[in-house]
């Protein structure tokens, strides 16, 4: 292989990298634009992240405009979360439905009767609440309710008596759910919060308490937070697992494409040397175009069909294009089975590793080592000096023929 051919192949590779860069940036911008523009629309239609605060309780103090903060004697809370993903453009949004039931026991530990003011805030001011019910001391609360203002009630308790405040509703949210302790109290007593989720990929937002117990169920996971007397500023919460987003995923695969192509170019060059097949730089150009077809199809099909189906169709088309072209252009001299296997390994498997979160780097590293070992084995006995010397000799221009000298004897006879 001559230096001129190596330079030509390098230029083709750089041009292909520029094309992938443009396609990757375009796909990424489409995803970012959809996320920024449609994210607020999804929250407006579906709901915002839910942060449910514990009800605040304050006992009236005679002669003081401010009440004295008291704690519920018991906090029994049951939450059910069910994921219900919504797709807008190239982005899947982790939306969910939430069923909340809370029962709080309010006790007057004083020796005199007290008026206790109860204020309950809804987790989101703009959300809608279905199957709503609220009870105070066994009586259902009637009348109008403004979600922006919450529920405000006054409870009169005799000395040493208790009453229950119960509330239940069903609403919708996105990304995460949190339960916040009363910020005015900073303390919670006899807490028993059970969260039943229909997913098992459980994660927790930053600054949140992890559950005391977690148990896998047929539906998903059952998480329990229990405490007798807990002092904390941390919330209780879970993060809704993200679904595979085709836009960002396709952009990452596109930006990684040059690595796949350079491995395949090395394979083609090795076949050129071992099988003594004359592969022109134009052949490399069409191979690069066949690789680019995979990412081009994937980028624009991902928003229309399921991402795995788009990936499969794009891979089949690209492998068929490259394999059929090399077989036809080199007239059967090129081992098309090796080329097909190489493209499946370097393009399809390397790209599919992005679907498997956390092992992409390991997959590429293992593939690189396996490729290096294979190339070292098959080229161990190649005389590289002769390979490049022959290339230089084959491309050396042929000198013009030397004219024949005149025959002196023949000239004398003619004379």
Give 99-110 pLDDT, tens digit per residue. Answer: 999 999 999 888
pLDDT of residue 35: 55
Ramachandran area for residue 273 (φ above 0: left; ψ -120 to 50: alpha; else beta): alpha
Contact (CB, 8 A) for 8 and 280: no
CA-nearest of 237, 251, 180 to 206 is 237
pTM of the model: 0.70
Alpha carbon 131 to its chain centroid, in Å, reads: 34
Q: How far apart are CA 40 and CA 391, in angstroms?
A: 62
User: What pLDDT, on the 0 to 100 scale, is given for residue 279?
Assistant: 83
What pLDDT score does 413 carry?
42
- For position 415, what pLDDT does the model report? 35
- Cβ proximity of 83 and 96 under 8 Å: yes
Stated length of the chain = 415
* Tokens read off for 148: 């922006």
319, two tokens: 């492998």
Distance CA 249, CA 308 (A): 11
CA distances from 390 to 1, 170, 273, 314, 322 (A): 8, 79, 11, 40, 28
- Strand segments, DSSP code E, in 201-353 are 208-209, 213-216, 221-231, 235-239
What is the 8-class DSSP label of residue 383? -
**Predicted local confidence at residue 63, as pLDDT:** 66
Dihedral, 18, 249, 290, 317 alpha carbons, nearest 10: -160
pLDDT-flagged residues of the chain (< 70): 1, 32-42, 44, 63-65, 89, 387-415
Q: Which CATH number fits domain 48-239: 1.10.600, 2.50.20, 2.30.30, 2.60.40?
A: 2.60.40
- Distance, CA of 343 to CA of 320 (rounded, Å): 10
- What pLDDT shows up at residue 33? 61
CA distance 374 to 412: 71
- Locate the domains of the chain by residue range: 3-32+245-394, 48-239
At a CB cut-off of 8 Å and minimum separation 6, what does 396 contact?
none
């Amino acid at each position: 292989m001559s230096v001129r051919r190596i330079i030509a192949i390098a230029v083709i590779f750089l041009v292909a990298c520029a094309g992938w860069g443009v396609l990757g940036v375009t796909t990424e911008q489409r995803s970012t634009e959809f996320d920024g523009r449609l994210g607020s629309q999804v929250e407006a239609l579906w709901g915002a992240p839910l942060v449910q605060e514990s009800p605040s309780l304050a006992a009236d103090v005679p002669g003081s405009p401010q009440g004295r903060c008291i704690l519920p004697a018991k906090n029994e809370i049951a939450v059910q979360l069910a994921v219900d993903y919504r797709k807008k453009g190239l982005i899947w949004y982790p939306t969910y439905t939430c069923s909340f039931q809370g029962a709080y026991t309010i006790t007057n530990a004083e020796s005199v009767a007290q008026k206790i003011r109860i204020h309950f805030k809804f987790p989101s001011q703009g959300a809608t609440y279905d199957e709503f019910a609220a009870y105070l001391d066994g009586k259902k609360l009637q009348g109008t309710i403004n979600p922006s203002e919450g529920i405000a009630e006054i409870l009169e308790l005799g000395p040493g008596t208790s009453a229950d405040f119960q509330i239940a509703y069903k609403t919708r949210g996105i990304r995460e759910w949190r339960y916040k302790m009363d910020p005015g109290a900073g303390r919670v007593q006899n807490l028993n919060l059970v969260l039943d989720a229909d997913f098992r990929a459980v994660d927790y937002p930053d600054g949140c308490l992890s559950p005391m117990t977690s148990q896998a169920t047929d539906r998903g996971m059952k998480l329990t937070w229990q405490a007798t007397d807990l002092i904390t500023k941390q919330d209780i919460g879970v993060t809704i697992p993200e679904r595979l987003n085709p836009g960002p995923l396709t952009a990452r695969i596109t930006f990684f494409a040059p690595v796949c192509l350079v491995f395949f170019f090395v394979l083609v060059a090795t076949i050129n040397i071992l099988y003594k097949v004359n592969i022109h730089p134009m052949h490399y150009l069409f191979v690069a175009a066949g690789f680019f077809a995979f990412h081009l199809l994937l980028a624009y099909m991902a928003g229309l069909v399921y991402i795995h189906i788009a990936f499969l169709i794009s891979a089949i088309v690209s492998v068929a294009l490259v394999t059929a072209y090399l077989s036809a252009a080199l007239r059967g001299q090129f081992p098309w089975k090796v080329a097909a296997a190489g493209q499946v390994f370097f393009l399809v498997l390397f790209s599919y590793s992005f679907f498997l979160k956390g092992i992409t780097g390991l997959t590429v590293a293992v593939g690189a080592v396996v490729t290096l070992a294979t190339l070292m084995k098959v080229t161990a006995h190649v005389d590289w000096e002769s390979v490049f010397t022959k290339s230089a000799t084959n491309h050396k221009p042929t000198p013009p023929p030397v004219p024949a000298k005149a025959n002196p004897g023949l000239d004398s006879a003619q004379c």
